[in-house]
Structure 1
């Protein structure tokens, strides 16, 4: 299987960005394998050299009641975690950059929340304009905690201002705990919209953004992973993982993309919804 992935990865790399939609895979090669190949060789673009984009993708563990079911997990399971790449300027550096690219003007972000509803008062989700010194809020929502620990997603609604091309935006997910010593726990990072807008034209003369939407989720995931659009690749694979929970190929793709940014330990966590 791994040899197959490597061969497909070489093929995808050689044919370039746009021809992934016109290249016909051999009948014996499943689209899911092409996705896995792309994810297996997933290469993240370096973060912008902006000193102001430091963040933290892991929030400290809360000291909760011994009667709370959350205590049944391991120590590594009891940290709020953003499913986003992190970078360090150099070995041993204390400055961490939490950042990724999206093509979507209304992107979806994913987080692992390790606490039960009983432990959390509420959750704040914020996206702010990072180019503004005062970080003007683009979107803010206060939501209920899910009933059980798991992976939750937050999407920028279409009623809010869309993300603009090439602008940096900061996001924050903050948990306010119930009757705990560690009252608030948060993770912060950055997102940048880039590349594909409605005017992008592919090599065949078509509108690239429109063509991507017409492709199957499998091929969309392969494209995003191959071209470094972290938030889009993750969101597409997450939807496939939810829709096809027993598909071994999709499970492997999901595991691979999280392992690529050292979050493999969260690959088997369930998906949960707020307020449930």
Structure 2
């Protein structure tokens, strides 16, 4: 019985995700960079990106900050440099983030770590276990892209809590570092669909964020950063998106 099962008394449907080096098709590790304000200076006259929580969509159980963890990062740290960074879930904090994808991509920032295994879990709004899988993180750092499997898929307009646990000590799972957040699958309304069709790729990030579609905004940034890693407008957009929900740029920094 794993730590999360003991914690909430859940029975989890256990499954496995496959690994690939291509973001964001499955489980993969990338050194996608978060940027600092100094890297985007001089860019002006662009649309400001700000996440606006969907109405009446606060987390059912109060929520968890995306950067939160249960234990001291030193217990899993593999270097002095890594100790200034933390395991971080890219979530909108206490709010429920929307996605128009029934199988969304979720992102976790993984600092340098001695841990070899991570564990992804999905719960319904009553904290009943829905899905769980192990992820190899040995010799890994950077962003992990987690693509939900085809089954079970998210039920429309139903909030779910997801978590990622880093097994610092496989013999004592109470020492796990755990982060997570809330997500809800819902369809785009026609007006937003029309705006997205006309918008540029970077403008779509702002539209998603403004309408509460946090996970689509993050996924779009990640996809574009693979294609345009030196785009200053995209760098500025990434910075604004993170800071709009209080995610630290020092924590979500370039893995090196």
Match of 1:173 among 164, 174, 179: 164
1:239 maps to which of 223, 228, 242:
223
Which of 172, 191, 194 matches 2:183?
A: 191
Distance 1:252-1:219 versus aligned 2 partners, 3 A rule: closer
Q: Does residue 109 in structure 1 map to residue 116 in structure 2?
A: no
Supply the distance in 1 between the matched residues of 2:162 and 2:128 (Cα, whole angstroms): 10
Q: Which runs of 5+ in 2 are unaligned?
A: 1-41
What's the TM-score, normalizing by structure 1?
0.65
SS at match of 1:153: strand
Q: Residue 81 of structure 1 aligns with which residue?
A: 88
Cα distance between partner residues in 1 of 2:156 and 2:105: 16
- Distance (Å, rounded) in 2 between the aligned partners of 1:150 and 1:82: 12
Query: Larger RCO: Structure 1 or Structure 2 (Cα < 8 Å, ≥ 6 residues apart)?
Result: 2
Say what the alpha-carbon RMSD is for the aligned residues: 3.1
**Aligned: 1:123 with 2:147:** no
Aligned partner (choices 128, 133, 141) of residue 135 of structure 1:
128
SS of structure 2 residue aligned to 1:265:
coil
Deviation at 1:142, TM superposition (A): 0.7
Residues 51 and 128 from structure 1, CA distance in 2 versus in 1: closer, same or farther, beyond 3 angstroms?
A: closer
Task: Find 2:254's aligned residue among 269, 272, 276.
Answer: 269
Change in Cα spacing, 1:212 to 1:110, as seen in structure 2 (3 Å) is same
Q: Which residue of 1 aligns with 2:145?
A: 153
Q: CA deviation at 1:246?
A: 1.5
CA contact (8 A) 1:255 1:267 kept: no
**CA distance in 2: counterparts of 1:112 and 1:147, whole angstroms:** 14
- Cα deviation, 1:194-250, whole Å, max 9, x if unaligned, reads 232xxx5449xxxx49x9579763343232123221111011011111221122221
Q: 2:53 is matched with which residue?
A: 44
When Rg is computed on C-alpha atoms for both structures, the one with the higher figure is: 1
Count of aligned positions: 211
Check 1:142–1:260 CA distance in 2 against 1; reply closer, same or farther (3 A cut).
Answer: same
Decide which structure has greater helix share. Answer: 1
Q: Pick closer, same or farther for the CA change 1:152–1:213 going to 2, 3 Å.
A: farther
In 2: Cα distance, 1:269 partner to 1:169 partner: 29
Distance of 1:123 and 1:230 partners within structure 2: 23
CA–CA separation in structure 2 for the residues paired with 1:246 and 1:45: 31
Change (3 A) 1:242 1:268: farther
